[in-house]
Amino acid sequence: MDPNQVSPGRDRRIPSPISAAQAIQPSSPRLFFSAAAAASPGGGGGASHRRIAIAVDLSDESAYAIRWAVRNYLRPGDAVVLLHVRPTSVLYGADWGAIDPSAAEDGDSEESKRKLEDEFDAFTASKAQEVAQPLVEARIPFKIHIVKDHDMKERLCIEVERLGIGAVIMGSRGFGAARSSSKAGLGSVSDYCVHHCACPVVVVRFPDDGSGAGSGAEDPNKQDGPDRTGGAEEKPELHPLPQRQH
């Protein structure tokens, strides 16, 4: 029997996991490198202690999650990926800024659609650089990874596994048009990622009073909670309890 001949009862080719993953990706990812990542060995893709993804939807919640990560989670040697999944249609979930909708009224021509897509891509990249400012100020190498998909929850988990991410940091209130109006519990996206991501997921709760919607200009070395700079902490004065009369 010819050794190269395949028996009728066996599959001729078994698709690899890589080819299967490529088959479900609707578009190629777009990577934008920060100056710190480009200056680091291997352009930010070399050996590092950890590879951390921060899922962003370009909202105040995402900006707060980045600032929280800089203050409380990231450490020297970490490589950060800002992971953004934008809707396949720019008219769905595009609630982050003023993109002129009149472009969509010029007809359904491919040229007008392509123009709107290009404008939205440029806006997305610009906005991502804006929310990444705390990473720039802290000189933490990062990449901006943007993909398009109609299913944000599933695509986030796919990209996390495909990029070999060690941990994911994300806000607690959902993303884009799917942002939950309820302040209680996790949003639908973060809840899905907690149960389906192949790595640990850190969910950052956005302050209910909206105090986290700052510009990010605060000191990135400031730690939440007690002072950790080594200075003497002020001890609260303790008063004796009143004696109970019998």
Alpha-carbon separation of residue 103 from 88, 93, 112, 114, 182 (angstroms):
17, 17, 7, 10, 33
Does residue 42 register a pLDDT over 50?
A: no
Lowest mean pLDDT among 19-23, 155-159, 201-205: 19-23
**Reported CATH class of domain 17-204:** alpha beta
Query: Could you tell me which residues are beta bridge partners of residue 84?
Result: 146
pLDDT in the model for residue 46: 45
- Does the pLDDT value for residue 24 go beyond 70? no
No. of helices (H) and no. of strands (E), the chain:
7, 6
Question: In sequence order, what are the residues at sequence separation of 6 or more whose Cβ sits closer than 8 angstroms to the Cβ of residue 181?
Answer: none
Say which residues have a Cβ less than 8 Å from residue 17's Cβ, sequence separation at least 6.
none
DSSP state of 90: T
The Cα-based distances of 229 to 21, 221, 223, 224 in angstroms read 46, 10, 9, 12
Give per-residue pLDDT as tens, 87-107.
876 544 444 444 454 544 554
Distance (Å, rounded) from C-alpha 161 to C-alpha 183?
Answer: 29
Predicted local confidence at residue 36, as pLDDT:
54
Please tell me the pTM assigned to this model. Answer: 0.58
Distance of CA 169 to the CA centre of its chain: 7
- Alpha carbon dihedral 94, 95, 96, 101, in 10-degree steps, equals 60
